[in-house]
Chain A
Amino acid sequence: MNMEVKETTLNKKDKRNNDVLLEVKNLKTYYPIKGGIFRKTVAVVKAVDDISFEIKKGETLGLVGESGCGKSTAGRTILRLLDATDGQIIFDGDDITNIRGVSLRKVRKDFQMVFQDPYASLNPMMMVGDLISEPIRNFTNKSSKELKPEVMELLTKVGLPEDAYYKYPHEFSGGQRQRIGIARALALKPKLIIADEPVSALDVSVQSQVLNLLKELQDEFDLTFLFIAHDLSVVKHMSDRIGVMYLGGLVEVSEKNSLYAEPLHPYTQALISAIPEPDPRKKKERIILEGDVPSPIDPPKGCTFHPRCAHAMPECQQVKPTLKEVKPGHRVACHLYN
């Protein structure tokens, strides 16, 4: 079993080609804050503020950051669950930023989402079989009955017994519910799956089951993942490349190993040093960040991280740094590397 998985992942790396599946250009998502008697927009929350990245076919891009950094909003905007304020989302060669109606419905088939809370994301009144076949029924004229063999196959694929078909979500544990969520996301054979904190509600032993499953399925179905999480060690385990977000912006994007071996942005350095490691013999230098993340309503001028940065220079207060390639495959937005 172990060997098998290893071999397939090796194959995957070969299969991974340079075709870009998703390209995000200068994406911005702002939430308006309304006030006064006329409900005028009095301010905006810059949840996602000018981010650009691309995901290649068969690759997993991890998006990490602390709560409120805009990683989930970015995921939802890409799925077109939220409207982008500005920028472009190019999926499989087509600009999908502003498409509506039938054409939006058509591309929706190709991307699916796995949500964080396996308790809230499944309809408690629906049988598991119906839950999983619903996305397929949405796009074809087939009935639940006709789709049964297909659903049964999906259930086995995600490691659930076939009799789960007739059960209801409350009869399952958190880990099993997340498997149902994954089966549902796979039902339409999507090209891209956005997993938004898929394991953060689970215990470690169950978390590892679900992470292993996601990896196996990726090899089997040649899936592309955007993996959103706050846990850096989980993201490291899952991703090929990683983007680090802070206050709505991407501060660093890099190949996984380069990022963890040599984080360049001071925020990434602090973030990585903050993770408690499960080894009491390792005493590492910890960078403790002062204060809290500033409000995204009124983010600091220049580099958004400068008020908390130990290396801040006068320039940082004035000019907002942009992502620049410092090493091959390693981009960082910081004035230290100019």
Chain B
Amino acid sequence: MSVNTQLHKDTPLLEVKNIETAFSIDGQYYNAVDNVSFSVKPRQIVGIVGESGCGKSVMSLSIMKLLPKGIGKIKSGSIQFEGVQLEQMSDKEINSIRGKEIAMIFQEPMTSLNPVFSIGFQIQEVLFNHMKISKKEARLKSIALLKSVGISRPEKIIDEYPHQLSGGMRQRVMIAIAIACQPKLLIADEPTTALDVTVQAQILELLKDIQKVNDMSVILITHDLGVVAEMCDEVIVMYAGKVVEKTDVDTLFHDPKHPYTKLLMGAIPRMDEDVEVLSSIKGIVPSLKNMPKVGCKFAARCPQVMPECTSITPLLAETDEGHEVSCLLYPTSRPREGVLHNEYGS
């Protein structure tokens, strides 16, 4: 843990470089995450947005090394957490980090809790795995954790089972389990998608509080731009396995550059203004098998498409300070002469 003390504010906690995660379909590997790089600084909330199938969940599973064995694998790239390479770790080594240093919460709180064990057992399981702690202490700590996630009557709830709780309560329990060992990084994969709006508001509020109290970094994966606007500092927009735009939250919402981001913003019905016709994106995301190999992956659906979009692969590059876009409309995204198909490197 000596690495930890040396960390200062701007050294990234997590650094993902040129990650390629592939899935095998009929014996052939196709990239679900294609050359993605980003970093998470301490105490930062980074949002990953995109539609279903854009690779945002696969990205998080890659970081946690939870890819289905034999089907998905990290082909290349590096994932550095506090100076340690995660992608090369053995299962045993990663187990000491999972749940302790990096924790994760999932979309569906019903399926991610084990129905046959009590709430208390499931929290204590994490504690026993990562700490030297007596049974009595573990129970007291579990009650304290349940209390910290806003569960009333924690002494009762600790002995109840998941089916006895509502969706919002279950998600609170999931959060309690996730923060049990005070992880430095929390990956939240669509944490509020299955919940009602008023419950979603409760959970988002809770996540924000916990992030501040515990000094955590958070990677928030979501498809809801409203949630992003509310929660995140930095945002990564993904499309078909690639990062198309990356910037701070304010710039993203007030000066989006990539045509996909712009369309996505126009496609949501707004509470504050009336629009008669929503912008829509023609067609659908191409499947992994039919993904274009060269050129921009959004070209087929892009309203501003140019002839070279299908032949030149755009680079993710800075247009303004701290604002990276991958689109040929911006000269920075054009590869230099001679290195036409070279991909974005760091």
Known: A175-B284, A205-B281, A281-B254. A286 touches B229 (CB 8 A): no
Q: Mark A192-212, 1 if CB is under 8 A from B, else 0.
A: 000000000001111111011
- Contact between B268 and A278, CB atoms less than 8 A apart: yes
A206–B263 CA distance with the chains assembled, in angstroms: 11
A173–B287 CA distance with the chains assembled, in angstroms: 11
A231–B281 CA distance with the chains assembled, in angstroms: 20
A293 → chain B closest CB, angstroms: 8
- Give the residue of A203, A233, A275, A286 whose beta carbon is less than 8 angstroms from that of B205: A286
- Contact between B205 and A211, CB atoms less than 8 A apart: no
- Contact between B269 and A234, CB atoms less than 8 A apart: yes
A270–B230 CA distance with the chains assembled, in angstroms: 17
B-contacting residues, A265-306, CB 8 Å? 270-282, 286, 288-289, 292
DSSP class of B's interface residues: helix, strand, loop or mixed?
helix
A209–B199 CA distance with the chains assembled, in angstroms: 28
A-binding segment of B34-42, B119-127, B271-279: B271-279
DSSP class of A's interface residues: helix, strand, loop or mixed?
helix
Which of the listed residues B224, B225, B227, B277 has the most CB atoms from chain A within 10 Å of its own CB?
B277
Known: A233-B271, A237-B269, A274-B197. A279 touches B276 (CB 8 A): no
A67 interface residue per 8 A CB criterion: yes
- Contact between B201 and A286, CB atoms less than 8 A apart: yes
Known: A173-B284, A209-B280, A292-B166. A66 touches B198 (CB 8 A): yes
B51 interface residue per 8 A CB criterion: yes
Residues on the B chain within 8 Å of A176, using CB = 284
- Give the residue of B198, B265, B272, B281 whose beta carbon is less than 8 angstroms from that of A270: B198
A275 → chain B closest CB, angstroms: 6
A336 interface residue per 8 A CB criterion: no
- Contact between A212 and B284, CB atoms less than 8 A apart: no
A236 interface residue per 8 A CB criterion: yes
Chain A interface residue count, CB cutoff 8 Å, equals: 44
A177–B42 CA distance with the chains assembled, in angstroms: 44
Known: A207-B267, A237-B278, A292-B168. A281 touches B250 (CB 8 A): yes
B37 → chain A closest CB, angstroms: 24
- Give the residue of B198, B271, B279 whose beta carbon is less than 8 angstroms from that of A208: B279
Residues on the B chain within 8 Å of A276, using CB = 200-201, 204, 224, 226-227, 229-230
- Contact between B278 and A279, CB atoms less than 8 A apart: no
Residues on the B chain within 8 Å of A277, using CB = 226, 229-230, 270-272
- Contact between B269 and A233, CB atoms less than 8 A apart: yes
A208–B267 CA distance with the chains assembled, in angstroms: 5
- Contact between B278 and A280, CB atoms less than 8 A apart: no
A101 → chain B closest CB, angstroms: 40
Residues on the B chain within 8 Å of A281, using CB = 250, 253-254
B256 → chain A closest CB, angstroms: 11
By beta carbon, the residue of chain A nearest B152 is A291
A9 → chain B closest CB, angstroms: 6
- Contact between B271 and A236, CB atoms less than 8 A apart: yes
- Contact between B197 and A66, CB atoms less than 8 A apart: yes
Which of the listed residues A9, A207, A292 has the most CB atoms from chain B within 10 Å of its own CB?
A292
By beta carbon, the residue of chain B nearest A276 is B226
By beta carbon, the residue of chain A nearest B169 is A292
- Contact between B201 and A274, CB atoms less than 8 A apart: yes
B196 interface residue per 8 A CB criterion: yes
A137 interface residue per 8 A CB criterion: no
B44 → chain A closest CB, angstroms: 15
Known: A2-B277, A5-B276, A5-B277. A278 touches B197 (CB 8 A): no
By beta carbon, the residue of chain A nearest B226 is A276
B311 interface residue per 8 A CB criterion: no
Residues on the A chain within 8 Å of B269, using CB = 208, 211, 233-234, 236-237
Residues on the A chain within 8 Å of B224, using CB = 276
A56 → chain B closest CB, angstroms: 20
- Contact between A279 and B272, CB atoms less than 8 A apart: yes
Chain A interface (Cβ within 8 Å of chain B)? 2, 5-6, 9, 66-67, 173, 175-176, 203-209, 211-212, 215, 230-234, 236-237, 260, 270-282, 286, 288-289, 292
Could you give 26 example pairs across A and B, Cβ below 8 Å?
A67-B196, A173-B284, A203-B223, A204-B225, A204-B267, A205-B51, A207-B267, A208-B278, A208-B279, A208-B281, A209-B281, A211-B278, A260-B271, A271-B198, A272-B271, A275-B271, A278-B225, A278-B229, A278-B265, A279-B272, A280-B253, A288-B198, A289-B198, A292-B168, A292-B169, A292-B199
Beyond contacts A208-B267, A208-B268: 7 other A-B pairs, Cβ-Cβ < 8 A, are A67-B196, A209-B280, A233-B271, A272-B271, A276-B201, A288-B205, A289-B201
